[in-house]
């Protein structure tokens, strides 16, 4: 049994909140540069270049890439041989989010009651925490700030087995088409298929954590990802929805077994401020 | 080919007549920030026949909830938020004299019709280019609804804020035109 003080978790969460919001991943920059060379719309080209300038300015000025510094989504891969000491693990994570969002000059975007009062909690807590128990004595912490504009364009659909892969593809492309310029294209499309109603949504969110330049280990799904990216980029939505070829930077799929009666499909859309940072204790 | 215009707020009908959907504009002068919660309050005031916290005639509202200002800077990152959420409140503000809006994403039919009727325009700022946009903000002060935090109304002075005309006073919509032009069937 390995003991870890939760104060260590707090410090890491705080640091990851700030770093995820200031520094975009190289995989995102590479994808935008790739599409910038191929974009046919002059306005689209100008926007993609501005996004690259903005990533650089954010890192230099130590300011958040986007003012929507998101809800703090925290993923834990928790080794089952770890024992936490020094207080509540989830309290420590929320304390880290609070300190990170205050000290990093990040926007506080959480309201307490979701409908009636909608009063800002003032420190961006509570975080949304998902924990997976894994073998070993390590803890991997991932902070993925998620913006509201793209989250609002996401959807879960309980499809039928008879809809087949063509039905899944139509749903994904249609979801992106209906989103238009709202989710800040170029977007990243996370797709979760299988599990159950709620599990498919979590798979879609986890799909967004995959590096943009990786390839799905199962070749048949890798081909579906390639085809969906091509179809989505035929929609003409383009950077910021003003028209062009670059609507999505990547489509990433995760699947799980599911019930014989079901075929849940979730599409979680992320904007080009595609932020996540991880650290392992 | 699209044109580039330099405009200063408040906007006049003369200014707006020159603008076509797709044109680039470098906007300078005062803009007022408001998003969901502030819009709700502004429209409640108008419905009760009360004065707004600022004279809206000829003005531009920027849909933004900025990040806090780091030391030595007038504002934190300050890109646009998605505009359709403001659609239910927009026609009444346009009827009250609002001449321009800055946000991101397409607007609904009623808003587009109201823009044509009232001779007003909607500009698209680049969502997520929030640091580049913050550099165009020279001053910022909260003038109403401080309790709303990032959703408070701010009076912002901007210089050469880069935006694109999304909807002009003639009913053109870049979100439709752009997709039609680049769509592959």
A237 and A179 housed in the same domain: yes
The CA-CA-CA angle for residues A122, A123, A128, to 5°, reads 120
Residue A213's alpha-carbon distances to A20, B110, B155, in angstroms, are 18, 42, 42
Residue A261 inside a domain? The answer is: yes
Of A63, A148, A183, the CB nearest to B76: A63
Residues of chain A with pLDDT under 50: none
A41 found inside a domain: no
Model-level pTM greater than 0.90? yes
- As given in the structure block, the two tokens for residue A69 are 């510094």
User: Are both A187 and A245 inside the same structural domain?
Assistant: yes
User: A183 is in which domain, residue-wise?
Assistant: 149-274
Percent pLDDT > 70 in chain A is 100
Query: What are the chain B neighbours of A244 within 8 Å (beta carbons)?
Result: 178, 182
pLDDT exceeds 70 at position B1? no
In-domain check, residue A214: yes
Residue A136 lies in a domain: yes
A122 and A235 in a common domain: no
Tokens of B126: 């680049």
- Based on the domain organization, do A100 and A224 belong to the same domain? no
Q: Which pLDDT belongs to residue B169? A: 97
Look at chain A and report how many structural domains it folds into: 2
Closest approach of A208 to chain B, Cα-based (Å): 18
A89 and A156, same domain (yes or no): no
Q: Is residue A87 part of a domain?
A: yes
Q: Is A124 left (phi over 0), alpha (psi -120 to 50) or beta?
A: left
Q: What is the pLDDT of residues A198-243, one digit of tens each?
A: 999 999 999 999 999 999 999 999 999 999 999 999 999 999 999 9
pLDDT band at residue B2 under the 50/70/90 scheme:
confident
| ipTM reported for the complex, 2 dp | 0.94
B11-182, CATH topology level: fumarase (3.20.130)
The pLDDT of residue B185: 86
Domain boundaries, chain B: 11-182
Q: B180: which chain A residues are within 8 Å (Cβ-Cβ)?
A: 236, 243
In a domain, A10, yes or no: yes
Q: Please indicate, yes or no, whether residues A74 and A141 belong to a single structural domain of this protein.
A: yes
Last residue of a domain, one of A146, A163, A188: A146
Whether B39 is catalytic: yes
Tens digits of per-residue pLDDT, B97-155? 999 999 999 999 999 999 999 999 999 999 999 999 999 999 999 999 999 999 999 99
């Amino acid at each position: 049994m390995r003991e870890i003080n939760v104060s260590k978790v707090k410090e890491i969460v705080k640091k990851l909140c700030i770093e995820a919001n200031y520094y975009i991943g190289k995989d995102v920059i590479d994808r935008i540069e790739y599409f910038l060379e191929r974009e046919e719309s002059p306005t689209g080209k100008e926007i993609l270049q501005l996004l690259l300038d903005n990533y650089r300015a954010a890192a230099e000025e130590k300011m958040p890439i986007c003012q929507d510094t998101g809800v703090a989504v925290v993923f834990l891969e928790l080794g089952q041989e770890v024992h936490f000491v020094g207080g509540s693990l989830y309290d420590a994570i929320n304390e880290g989010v609070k300190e990170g969002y205050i000290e990093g000059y990040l926007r506080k975007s959480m309201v307490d009651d979701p409908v009636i009062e909608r009063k800002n909690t003032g420190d961006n807590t509570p975080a949304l925490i998902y924990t997976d128990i894994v073998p070993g004595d390590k803890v991997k912490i991932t902070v993925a700030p998620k913006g509201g504009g793209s989250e609002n364009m996401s959807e879960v659909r309980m499809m039928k087995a008879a809809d087949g892969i063509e039905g899944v593809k139509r749903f994904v492309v249609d979801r992106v088409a209906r989103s238009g310029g709202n989710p800040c294209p170029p977007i990243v499309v996370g797709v979760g298929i299988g599990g159950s109603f709620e599990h498919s949504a979590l798979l879609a969110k986890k799909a967004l954590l995959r590096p943009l330049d990786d390839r799905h280990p199962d070749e048949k799904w890798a081909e579906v990802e390639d085809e969906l990216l091509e179809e989505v980029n035929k929609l003409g939505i383009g950077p910021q929805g003003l028209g062009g070829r670059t609507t999505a930077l990547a489509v990433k799929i995760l699947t799980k077994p599911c019930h014989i009666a079901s075929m849940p499909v979730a599409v979680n859309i992320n904007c080009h401020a595609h932020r996540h940072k991880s650290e392992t204790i | 080919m699209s044109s580039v215009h330099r405009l200063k707020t408040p906007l006049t009908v003369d200014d707006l007549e020159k603008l076509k959907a797709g044109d680039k504009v470098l906007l300078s002068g005062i803009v007022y920030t408001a998003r969901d919660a502030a819009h709700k309050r502004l429209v409640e005031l108008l419905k009760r026949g009360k004065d707004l916290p600022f004279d809206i005639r000829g003005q531009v509202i920027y849909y933004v909830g900025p990040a806090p200002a780091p030391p030595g800077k007038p504002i934190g990152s300050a890109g646009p938020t998605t505009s359709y959420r403001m659609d239910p409140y927009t026609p009444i503000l346009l009827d009250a004299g609002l001449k321009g809006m800055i946000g991101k994403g397409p607007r609904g039919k009623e808003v587009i019709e109201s823009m044509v009727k009232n001779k007003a325009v909607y500009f698209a700022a680049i969502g997520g280019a929030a640091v580049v946009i913050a550099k165009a903000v020279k001053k910022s002060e909260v003038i109403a609804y401080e309790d709303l935090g990032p959703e408070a109304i701010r009076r912002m002075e901007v210089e050469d804020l880069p935006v694109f005309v999304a909807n002009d006073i003639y009913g053109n919509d870049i979100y439709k035109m752009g997709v039609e032009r680049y769509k592959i069937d």
